[in-house]
Amino acid sequence: MIDFNEKIDFDKSYDLVIIGNITKDYINDSEQYILGGSSLYAGIASANIGVNTMIISNHSINHKELPEFEKLQILSSDHEFTTEFLWTYENDKRFGYLNNKTKTIELNFKRKLKTKMLMLAPVFDEIEINIKDNFEYEICLLSPQGLLRSSNGNSKIFLDKNNLQHLICGVHIISCSEEEENYLYRNPSAENCFDYISVTLGNKGSKLYNKYNCTHFPGYIPDKIIDPTGAGDVFSLYLLVFYYKTNNIEFAVKIANCAASFVVEGLGISTIPSFRSVKKRLMENINE
């Protein structure tokens, strides 16, 4: 385990810290993996926007395999294992299997690290929600999928219920899929603690809950649809960054929907869009 105290400048304020595992993803019967994980999709999208971003992850992936961006720093706290998934597709439906998983991410900070934005993006049970207490932040987004996932005897992944009450203290935005929303217990007393829950709806766009109502936002039409993996992660990243930058949640949802529409057009991290591409598609739809 590396000593984060030697790798991090505690006297500066970071723009964005993302916590969650980078993964090896195997698709169908392929023996070759592609790099994945919510933190990697979100981190690359953030770097493309120009945000100084740090990912904290457990993995054993050689640093030479990891993508390099001027605005992206990737730190690993464990070098023994990498979380590995097998994803299969049957009748356009995705099924996942857990091949391997890392230990819990443990932080040994000498004092709280300052960051403007904090994104909690677990993929499978690698963080405790109180990991956010290691940070002094202005806004926090939680993608709860990794807290909802479990696996059965043959390693097939399924979603299990979790109580929002235990997740959201100190979290401002929860960003999840429509399927994941069904596994989050909604508790009226808990809902007074967060600002928004955003739910992605695939090609139907997304919906946004605040304390009082729910608003639907239409999606953007991709050029083609190859694989939806990572679209929700890029959506969450854009939602967090542009809500922080503009304090306009409606605009943040619209540009997040637009950015997510690019990711489905290919496989893996290859179709994470540039900010220029997102702005172009956004303006084209405004002008129509």
pLDDT above 70 (res 239):
yes
Strands (E), the chain: 13-19, 23-27, 33-36, 53-57, 72-76, 83-90, 93-100, 113-120, 135-142, 149-151, 157-159, 162-163, 173-177, 184-185, 196-200, 206-209, 214-217
Q: What pLDDT is attached to residue 76?
A: 87
Q: What is the mean pLDDT of residues 200-219?
A: 93
- The per-residue pLDDT for range 223-235, each reduced to its tens digit, is 998 888 999 999 9
Residues 6+ apart with CB under 8 A from 171: 120, 132, 140, 141, 142, 193, 194
Please give the CATH topology (third level) of the domain spanning 4-287.
UDP-N-acetylmuramoyl-L-alanine:D-glutamate ligase (3.40.1190)
- Within 13 Å and on the Cβ side, how many CA atoms surround 76? 19
pLDDT above 80 (res 99):
yes
Q: What pLDDT is attached to residue 33?
A: 95
Q: What is the mean pLDDT of residues 158-166?
A: 76
pTM over 0.85? The answer is yes
Q: Which range among 47-56, 168-177, 191-200 shows the weakest confidence by mean pLDDT?
A: 191-200
Q: What pLDDT is attached to residue 163?
A: 66
> How far apart are the C-alpha atoms of 283 and 65, rounded to whole Å?
35
Mean of pLDDT over the chain: 90
- The per-residue pLDDT for range 260-276, each reduced to its tens digit, is 999 999 989 999 999 99
